Amino acid sequence: MRGSDWPVTLACGAVLLGCASPQERLYTLSGPQPPATVAPATLHVLVGPVTIPEALDRPQLVVRRSSVRLVALEQERWAEPLREGIPRVLSDAITTKLPNVSATSFATAADARWDMRLFVDVTRFEVIPGERVVIEAYWRLQVAADKRALDGRSVIVKAVQGGPRDYDAIVAAQAAGLTEVGAELSQVIAKEAAGFTTP
């Protein structure tokens, strides 16, 4: 190769490398699968809206690298907004635990009729890669019949069953933590629903 050809070759190589961007990977939160056959619902629960920290309200997965630094992973992305995925998992968890309850996500059915409604403020949805997931949520259960409201807090810590770059394991731990939050909410709903019947 002539010496004068080197700049052209290097320039072409740089263009090819620049065009070959890493492939994005998309993730969804998977909750428990509700039973295929369910009894007729006697109670309708609307889950949401759900609020999340502004730092997490983005397409990228966000992980904690130190006590003062969060990192958004550009190639690891949510297939749906967290504001929609979280209430969906909570709804599935409630429906699974309470077969006579129809739990619907506000994100998909904002105008649905409800007997109880859950407002959820997720203050922590923290990931320490290879270690744990911490979920902290404040919630309010509003009862339509007598306009009562109950306030509570759920804190769940789940171990990540994988290494620092095992993002499947991270998302699985997040989903499992949300399912536990949903199980706690189910207990509250069941207690309030004792003797409750819809018109």
Structural domain contains residue 99: yes
Query: What's the CA gap between 171 and 27, in Å, rounded?
Result: 7
**Cα separation, 92 vs 3, whole angstroms:** 66
3-state SS, residue 184? helix
Q: What is the rounded CA–CA span in Å between residue 27 and residue 186?
A: 26
Q: What pLDDT does 21 receive?
A: 65
Q: Does the residue 10 lie in any domain?
A: no
Question: What is the model's pTM?
Answer: 0.85
Find, among 43, 134, 135, the residue nearest to 94 by Cα: 43
Full domain range(s) for residue 46: 29-193
pLDDT at 38: 64
pLDDT score recorded for residue 40: 79
CATH number for the domain that contains residue 75:
3.40.50.10610
> Phi and psi for 21 in degrees, rounded to 5?
-75, 150
Give the pLDDT confidence score for residue 5 in this predicted structure.
53
In a domain, 137, yes or no: yes
Cα distance between residue 111 and residue 66, in whole Å: 42
> Does residue 181 lie in a domain region?
yes
Structure letter (DSSP) for residue 195: T
* Residue 198 placed within a domain: no
Find the radius of gyration of the CA atoms of the chain. Answer: 22
Q: Is residue 161 in some structural domain?
A: yes
Stretches in the chain below the pLDDT threshold 70: 1-21, 35-38, 195-199
Query: What pLDDT is attached to residue 24?
Result: 92
d(C-alpha 78, C-alpha 90), whole Å: 17
Q: Are strands 60-66 and 69-78 parallel, antiparallel or unpaired?
A: antiparallel
Residue 90, domain member (yes or no): yes
What are the tens digits of pLDDT across the range 80-107?
A: 999 999 999 999 999 999 988 999 998 8
Give the tokens for residue 171.
């998302």
What Cα–Cα distance (Å) separates residue 3 from each residue in 7, 8, 10?
Answer: 8, 10, 12
Q: 154 lies in a domain?
A: yes
Structural domain count, the chain: 1
